[in-house]
Amino acid sequence: MPTAPTVGECQVWRLPMGSGHWGGFDVLDQDERERHGRFLRAADRDRYQAAHVGVRLLLGHYLGVPPAELRFSRHCRHCGAGHGKPVVEWPATTLDFSLTHSGDWVGLAVAAEPVGLDVQELAEGTEVAALSSTVLAPAELRWWAGQPAETARTAFFGYWARKEALLKATGHGLAVPMSTITLTPPDVPAQLVEWSGDRPLDGPVRLYDLDAGPGYMAAVAVLTTEPVRITQAEFSGTTLSGEPRPAG
Ligand SMILES: CC(C)(COP(=O)(O)OP(=O)(O)OC[C@H]1O[C@@H](n2cnc3c(N)ncnc32)[C@H](O)[C@@H]1OP(=O)(O)O)[C@@H](O)C(=O)NCCC(=O)NCCS
C-alpha cells in the first residue's frame, strides 16, 4: 500500500488507459461526469476517466476519505474564473497533485509541495520548426538550431514538457508564454535559467526529466529550494487493495 509523500518527495504514477480497467465511474462528481460526457472521442474519455478516477482513489486513500467525497476546485490565477490548476478543496491538505494526458500516457504526480507534471508524445505530425519560437526562448533557439534533426525534435518536446511542468506547478498554465522561460539544454540536468515574463514566479523550482518510455518526453517540477526524491510507478487502483477492481 503506498503512503503519502512527505516534504522532499514526489510520486509520479502512470495510470493505465482503458475504460474497462477503471471501474468506479460513480466516484466522479457531477462536473467530472459532464466533462467526461463532452469528449467526442472514446480515447479522450478513457484518458479523462483514468486520470480522474485514479486521482480520487489515490488521494482518497492518502487522506482517509471515500474517493467520491473528495472535493476539488479550480481557480484561475489570471482571470479568477473556475478553470486553472485543480486543487483539493476538501479535506484540508497540503498535498498537491498534477495530471497529464498524452497519447497512451495518463500521469499523476503527488507531492507535499506544489507540483506540475507533463508528458508530451513525440507526435509525428507536429511541425516543430514552426512552433520553435513559441516554445523556445532566444538562447534556447540558438542552441536548438545547431542540433541534428532527430536530436532537435526530441529536444523540442523535452523543453516543452519541462516548461509545461513548471507552468502547471505554478498554476500559470500557458497564460505565461513558454518563450519567456529559459532552461538549461536537454543534455544537462534540467534547471531554470531565466524567467522573464511579466507574471511572477512564486519561488524556487526544482525540475526533473522523467523516463516516460519510447515516443514520449516527460518532466516534473516541484516548487521548493531543496532537492526532491522522485519515484515512478504504475498505479492501477489494484495497488491499494491488492485485488482487481471490478470494471464498469
Ligand atoms: C494547463 C495546460 C498547460 C495543460 O495542457 P495540455 O498539454 O493540453 O494538457 P495536460 O493533459 O498535460 O494537462 C491537463 C491537466 O492539467 C491540469 N490543469 C489545467 N489547467 C491548469 C493550470 N493552470 N495549472 C496547472 N494544472 C492545470 C488539469 O488537471 C488538466 O486535466 P483535466 O482537465 O483532466 O483536469 C494548458 O491547457 C493551459 O495552460 N490551459 C489554460 C490556458 C490559460 O490559462 N488561459 C488563460 C485563461 S484566463
Domain ranges of the chain: 9-240
**136: helix, strand or coil:** coil
Contact indicator for 169, 222 with CB cutoff of 8 Å: yes
For position 78, what pLDDT does the model report? 87
CA–centroid distance, 67 to ligand 1, in Å, is: 22
CA–centroid distance, 105 to ligand 1, in Å, is: 16
CA–centroid distance, 74 to ligand 1, in Å, is: 11
Mean pLDDT of 81-94: 94
Contact indicator for 239, 15 with CB cutoff of 8 Å: no
Tens of pLDDT, residues 112-153: 999 999 999 998 888 899 999 999 999 999 999 999 988 999
Q: Which of 38, 57, 45 is nearest to 20 (CA)?
A: 45
Ligand 1 close to Cβ of residue 162 (< 6 A): no
Ligand 1 close to Cβ of residue 101 (< 6 A): yes
Mean pLDDT of 81-106: 95
Count of beta carbons in the 10 Å neighbourhood of residue 137: 22
* Nearest ligand 1 atom to alpha carbon 168: 25
Rounded Cα gap, residues 67 and 56, in angstroms: 5
Residue found by looking up cell 536548438 in the block: 144
> Sorting pLDDT into bands at 50, 70 and 90, what band is 197?
confident
Please say if the pLDDT value at position 21 is more than 60.
yes
Tens of pLDDT, residues 147-170: 998 899 999 999 999 999 999 999
Rounded Cα gap, residues 60 and 55, in angstroms: 8
CA–centroid distance, 246 to ligand 1, in Å, is: 30
Rounded Cα gap, residues 85 and 17, in angstroms: 23
Q: Which residues contact 119 (CB under 8 A, 6 or more apart)?
A: 100, 101, 102, 105, 107, 161, 210, 212, 216, 217, 218
Instruction: Tell me the average pLDDT of the chain.
Output: 92
For position 16, what pLDDT does the model report? 86
- The pTM is what? 0.95
CATH 2.40.30.10 for the 9-240 domain, yes or no? no
